[in-house]
Structure 1
């Protein structure tokens, strides 16, 4: 096994998840974040706060060590997606799924809700460094 460290951009990870190339191993728990959790993550990103690392296993799509599953919402926003696993997300699923949800707005309710949410950034408030009030859903 070859271990390495890289500085991939979060948006690049979101794009490969959308294409079905970044998937989860089936032992991952379901996405459990609530609306307020996602809002706080977005605020952290806007304030350039460290949100942790992601543990990603590069894999060969022909020999996958775990059963792959899509990140929640991928099939809703990309119905033609086919699994083509090149990367398995082993740690960081809640954060990456939250960002995916905020960007693509899949038609899925969040935990303890009956309706989906959309997330917005008030650019005027952000320009005034009022990050706390700039993010809403």
Structure 2
């Protein structure tokens, strides 16, 4: 009987320790194209930045942005913005982080609307619960 109680306590303690390891983990959102990268990791953060920048660039109204930049005499634009990937896997709450190019930021907001129509990201989790995840992203654009 003592052996049975000892073995039961041993198994229970391993279960509790394993549960604590899983519960204290933060997993960042996953964007399409980054599914096979270990979460969490620097590589996944880099992939999130790269893929999201790609999606934004693909969905920009480049003709309008080029016209706006030429009107103010610029060939390059830079902005840094923050946003949230919501529990529903959508991008929300865009705002400028620095005093940067407002024309580019406004075009990015339009691109995000298009991205939200076509993509749902896997949301972040913390302690096994789905959470909103805030992120900053620098973005550069050059007229070609």
TM score, norm. by length of structure 2: 0.25
Higher strand share: 2
